Amino acid sequence: MGGPGLEVAKFTFYVFMPMGFMVYFGGPGFYERYVADETYKFNAPPKMRVPTEPADISKTLDALKDAREQRRLAREEYMKNLDSQSPGVAGSANAE
């Protein structure tokens, strides 16, 4: 066995090594040097400008409502075509 000196050294290593890693890798200098640029590359700012004027907001809301209505109409048409193509299930109201 190593004795009490080795046990104290191991305990010190086991306690302070993770703390040292947290201080080094969690510090702001490490973040600025290695992480900040990569974060910007993978999470680029959005290309769409957020409207701030009331007129711009209303135009944007109208465009979003029109797009939602178009998607709803397309979905209803798709479901109507899907219902007309399906032969039905035995015992259901669509069965002949």
The 10s digit of each residue's pLDDT in 18-60 is: 999 999 998 888 888 888 777 677 777 777 788 899 999 999 9
Q: What is the pLDDT of residues 79-96, one digit of tens each?
A: 999 888 877 665 555 544
CA 46, 47, 52, 55 torsion: positive or negative?
negative
User: With contact defined as beta carbons under 8 Å apart, do 19 and 26 qualify?
Assistant: no
pLDDT band at 71 (very low <50, low <70, confident <90, very high): very high
- Provide the pLDDT for residue 79: 92
- Provide the pLDDT for residue 93: 56
Sequence spans of domains, the chain: 1-45, 48-87
Prediction pTM value: 0.41
14, 46, 81, 84, 88 from 93: Cα distances, Å? 71, 49, 17, 13, 8
CA atoms within 13 A on the CB side of 91: 0
